[in-house]
Structure 1
Amino acid sequence: MTFSIRRIETDEWREVRDLRLRALQDPVAALAFLDTFENASEQPDEFWQHRAKQAAEGGPNGQFVTIADDGEWFGSATVIGDRDAAPSALVVGVYVADGHRGSGAIEALFDECAAWAAEGGLTELTLEVHVDNHRAQAAYVRCGFTRTGQITELENGREYVMTRPVVPAPR
């Protein structure tokens, strides 16, 4: 399967919303996201428009999506920089739809996040993953992330903090 990957555009807020709602229906969404389908589906259009504007070109964050040849949006990751002068960019909202996992999409998403971070002078990517989300942990390790030893307590439970250099070691 082939796909393209790119940063979202401001006017694609409907697609951003639809992909997020799809992600929140994933069986492990309760572990992976700090939101619920019910809450997100009640948000007004203005919420999604603002979210897209913040992550599109010119915004302070970057949301990257994977798009199949047939136009289906099936993966996403958002990267946030400038966090109290930290040298790392925070990656959130990582999702690849079932049926597309193993396609190289997650690696491509992280590579785009890393390129975005490098352009901003940042040196590493950081993410948090629920201690019980073993599927995601394995994917992140495959993509060059390692645990820092730090564990955070969030609304959905305990999460490992993982980092990888912006330029990963060769695989």
Structure 2
Amino acid sequence: MNQVSRQVVRPVRADEWPEVKELRLSSLQDPVAPIAFLETYEKAVAQPDSFWQERAEKAADGARVRQFVAEGPGGIWIGSVTVLIEDADSDDVFGGPVQQRQAHLVGVYVRPDHRGSGVIDALFETAVAWAWSVPDVTRVRLYVHEDNARAESFYRRYGFVRSGETVTMTGDPSKLEREMVLEER
């Protein structure tokens, strides 16, 4: 567990699906959600409890997916990041081929009233450390929307660099998402 002031960062547990659901729905109501997430609030809120139970179970397993949460005082979830392990010769979340085993960070979110408090740093420290601990992972990557300057600024500060790869934004092909990577350490 990683601790920043009064926040604790840890992996989710399978039985925490109501908290997984609540935090995801909260993130999808954020004003930057349309450029930060590939899912809409309307689609997510319509999902049955079984969807959220399965999502939490997979994220707690830690074999191919691992979700980390930051807990604030009283155990309130204040942020999250999910790591997907993508194997060579498979497809990534955008449907493109994966050339090497890599970790893909998705679903990055910190509640607005906790931004700037170090929560995102603690989440990334924990998620990236876990990603590098997975055998044969050669890089960690993420995608950032070309208009999401705040997120890209943090990613750069953390050490991510643009790879030069881009994909068109789902739902708006006139916009791009840029791949950013951390090379093997």
Fold similarity call, TM over 0.5: yes
Residue 27 (structure 1) aligned with residue 14 (structure 2):
no
How far is 1:57 from its partner?
3.3
Aligned match of 2:50 in 46, 49, 56?
46
Quote the Cα distance in structure 1 between the aligned partners of 2:47 and 2:184.
34
* 8 Å contact kept, 1:114–1:124: no
2:108 is aligned, of 80, 85, 94, to: 94
Aligned residue for 2:75, secondary structure, equals coil
Q: Deviations over 1:59-88 (max 9, x none)?
A: 420000000022210100000113336232
Q: Count how many residue pairs are aligned between Structure 1 and Structure 2.
A: 167
* 1:129 counterpart = 2:144: yes
1:152 aligns with 2:167: yes
Unaligned runs of 5+ in 2: 90-99
Residues of 2 paired with 1:131 and 1:45: CA distance?
33
How much has 1:58 moved relative to structure 2? 4.6
Q: Which moved more, 1:86-95 or 1:38-47?
A: 86-95
How far apart, CA to CA, are the structure 1 residues paired with 2:125 and 2:181? 13
Task: Look up the match of 2:132.
Answer: 118
Q: Which of 66, 72, 75 is the matching residue for 1:62?
A: 66
The Cα offsets for residues 113-132 of structure 1, whole Å up to 9 and x where unpaired, read as 12221221213210000000
Letter in 2 for 1:54: K
Q: Distance in 1 between matches of 2:55 and 2:18?
A: 11
Q: For structure 1, which segment, 101-110 or 124-133, has the greater mean C-alpha deviation from structure 2 after superposition? A: 101-110
Identical-residue share of aligned pairs (%) = 45
Choose 107-116 or 47-56, whichever is displaced more: 107-116
1:82 and 2:92 correspond: no
**8 Å contact 1:53–1:59 — kept in the other structure?**
no
Q: Partners of 1:5 and 1:101 in 2: how far apart?
A: 15
The 2-side partners of 1:42 and 1:10 are apart by 21
Aligned counterpart, 2:182: 164
CA contact 2:80–2:123 (8 Å) conserved in 1: yes
Closer, same or farther: CA 25–105 of 1 in aligned 2, 3 Å? same
Q: Confirm or deny: 8 A CA contact 1:114 1:166 kept in the other structure.
A: no
Q: Which runs of 5+ in 1 are unaligned?
A: none
Question: In the aligned structure 2, how far is the partner of 1:80 from the partner of 1:32?
Answer: 17
Partner of 1:36: 40
